[in-house]
Amino acid sequence: MKLQYQLTIAFTTLLVVIMTVAGITIYSQMLQMLIKDEQRQLEDKGQLIVNFILYQDLNNTSNVQRLLDMLEQYNLQVFAYDDRSNQIIFSSIPELEVVNDWVDRYDMEETEQPLWQADNEKYVVSILPFYSIVSTQHLVLLTPLDDLQEVQKSLLWRLSLIFLIGIAVAVLLSHYLTSKLVTPLTQLKHQLKKIEKRKFDDMQEIKATGEIKEVEQSVSDMANELHSFIQSQRHFFQNASHELKTPLMTIQGYAEGIRDGVFENEEAERGLNVMVAEINRLKKIINEIILLAKLDSEESIYDETEVNLQEFVEKITERALPIANEKEIKWEVKKVEPYIVSFDHDKMLQAIMNIVTNAIRHANHKVELSVYQKGKQVCMEVMDDGEGMDEELLSKLFHRFVKGESGETGLGLAIARAIVEQSDGTIKAENNRLGGAVFTVSFSHYEKKKHSVYD
């Protein structure tokens, strides 16, 4: 069943239950309240009549007429009764037997008598004493219970009508509110279907608020992430096949030339050398692709240990110095403090060497390596004085197979980033003030040792 109907049914059922309980409670109390109210009214009106009888001269016919008018106006069933003579003084009740029955059977001593049962009808009774010079007399006011039950019925009808209107309004309201709630969910479902079918360009924003908006935001972030992942995978395969195809075609060309006798002697020798160089290049690309795939998917290949950056920088220098010397580039290391950082020693060495070999390749005169603390982070920085990188290259420098004019495979920095990020670090590239490039690898978790390895 649709969520909207489920919610509407749930709301309506809840409302009907609440209203029914309220209705039953009110109905059961209603008669009691009407009886009490009637008694109070009878008392008030009776008091007026008693005052009239006591203080007006009833020998005067106009006063008697006023009394009768009053009784008619209040629509009262009333009679006056003399205790001593046990007689009715006057009565406005047409059924005399009811009055006589009352005189015969009513127990004046009993105070708690809200209803009096006559032959076939019950009455609400109110008795007010008044005293004449000779005896005690009582004014007795009666209201048939039937009258009150009529009032009760009519009230019940009105109450039921209000309940019905209330339920109808509530059902409409809950339908409207649930549809407001459910519509964004339905739209979200359609958006998810689009993701399933990889129609990322058809994705639309949903009008929603609160938690649904947050879910929508997460779905949209997920879709963007998935889209860029799929695109990067696609580019990766395109680039990889292109990178593999070029050396293979060169090798094929020379191999066929030598086989068919097109290249002979020196040319054949040169062809073989090119073939060996291209095969080495192919080997390097394939190894780097395999390494990248492993870095992405196998967390177990990381062997984290605590590394002292002073010793680590020495290892980099051991490897970088021969390459720098060969290119006549000056290799400079600033004084390093004994910071301890956790990472896979060999893989991080490879990551930093990828950055360092790039720097040596692009530098004009020198490459500088420094380790320093900045805020809550410790940073390793490789700076060169080469030509630097243009903005377009900078924005996608760490992507796979992205390379500049004098680049090689374009995988070195992608590998470096994968290793650094796996070690909870960050990597960034900028141009420095000398125009060359500066690469910074930062770690948030580190310790500083008291004793340097140089002490």
Where along the sequence are the contacts to Mg ion (CB under 5 A)?
A: 358, 412
CA dihedral 209, 215, 218, 224 (to 10 degrees): -80
3-state secondary structure of 384: strand
Choose from Mg ion, ligand ATP, none: what does 271 bind? Cβ within 5-8 Å by kind.
none
Choose from ligand ATP, Mg ion, none: what does 309 bind? Cβ within 5-8 Å by kind.
none
Among 409, 421, 432, 434, the residue binding ligand ATP under the rule CB under 6 A is: 409
Contacts of the segment 214-221: beta carbons below 8 A, 24+ positions apart: 215/188, 216/184, 216/188, 216/191, 219/188, 219/191, 219/192, 219/195, 220/191
Name which of 310 and 358 has its Cβ closer to Mg ion.
358
Residues 88, 103: contact at Cβ < 8 Å?
yes
Containing 370, the helix (H) or strand (E) segment is strand 366-374
Choose from Mg ion, ligand ATP, none: what does 114 bind? Cβ within 5-8 Å by kind.
none
Q: Is 419 in the site for ligand ATP (CB under 6 A)?
A: no
Shortest separation between residue 374's beta carbon and ligand ATP, angstroms = 21
Shortest separation between residue 383's beta carbon and ligand ATP, angstroms = 9
Look-up of token digits 């205790």: 83
Output phi, psi for 415, to 5 deg.
-65, -45
Shortest separation between residue 340's beta carbon and ligand ATP, angstroms = 28
Number of residues that bind ligand ATP (CB under 6 A): 21
Name which of 127 and 353 has its Cβ closer to ligand ATP.
353
Q: What is the DSSP letter of 301?
A: G
CA distance 226 to 125: 84
Choose from ligand ATP, Mg ion, none: what does 384 bind? Cβ within 5-8 Å by kind.
ligand ATP
* Alpha helices per DSSP H over 91-209: 96-105, 145-196
Shortest separation between residue 226's beta carbon and Mg ion, angstroms = 29
Going 278 to 281 to 286 to 289, the CA torsion angle's sign is: negative
Distance of CA 229 to the CA centre of its chain: 26
Q: Is 174 in the site for ligand ATP (CB under 6 A)?
A: no
Q: Is 408 in the site for ligand ATP (CB under 6 A)?
A: yes
Q: Using CB under 6 A as the criterion, what x/- string covers residues 378-397 for binding ligand ATP? A: ------x-x-xx-------x
Name which of 256 and 392 has its Cβ closer to ligand ATP.
392
Look-up of token digits 């795939």: 293
Shortest separation between residue 413's beta carbon and ligand ATP, angstroms = 3
Shortest separation between residue 453's beta carbon and ligand ATP, angstroms = 28
Q: Which stretch binds ligand ATP (CB under 6 A): 129-137, 254-262, 329-337, 401-409?
A: 401-409
Shortest separation between residue 288's beta carbon and ligand ATP, angstroms = 6
Q: Using CB under 6 A as the criterion, what x/- string covers residues 423-452 for binding ligand ATP? A: --------------x---------------
Shortest separation between residue 358's beta carbon and Mg ion, angstroms = 4
Q: Is 410 in the site for ligand ATP (CB under 6 A)?
A: yes
Choose from ligand ATP, Mg ion, none: what does 342 bind? Cβ within 5-8 Å by kind.
none
Shortest separation between residue 245's beta carbon and ligand ATP, angstroms = 17
Look-up of token digits 């020198």: 366
Name which of 215 and 353 has its Cβ closer to Mg ion.
353
Q: What is the DSSP string of 214-234?
A: HHHHHHHHHHHHHHHHHHHHH
Residues 366, 360: contact at Cβ < 8 Å?
no
CA distance 141 to 47: 11
Name which of 122 and 399 has its Cβ closer to ligand ATP.
399
Q: What is the DSSP string of 50-82?
A: HHHHHHS-TTSHHHHHHHHHHHHHHT-EEEEEE
Q: What is the DSSP string of 244-288?
A: HHHHHHHHHHHHHHHHTTSS-HHHHHHHHHHHHHHHHHHHHHHHH
Name which of 83 and 390 has its Cβ closer to ligand ATP.
390
By 3-state DSSP, what share of the chain in percent is helix, strand and coil, each rounded to 5? 60, 20, 25
Q: Using CB under 6 A as the criterion, what x/- string covers residues 338-367 for binding ligand ATP? A: ----------------x---xx--x-----
Name which of 74 and 401 has its Cβ closer to ligand ATP.
401
Query: Where on the chain is the footprint of ligand ATP (CB under 6 A)?
Result: 354, 358-359, 362, 384, 386, 388-389, 397, 402-404, 407-414, 437
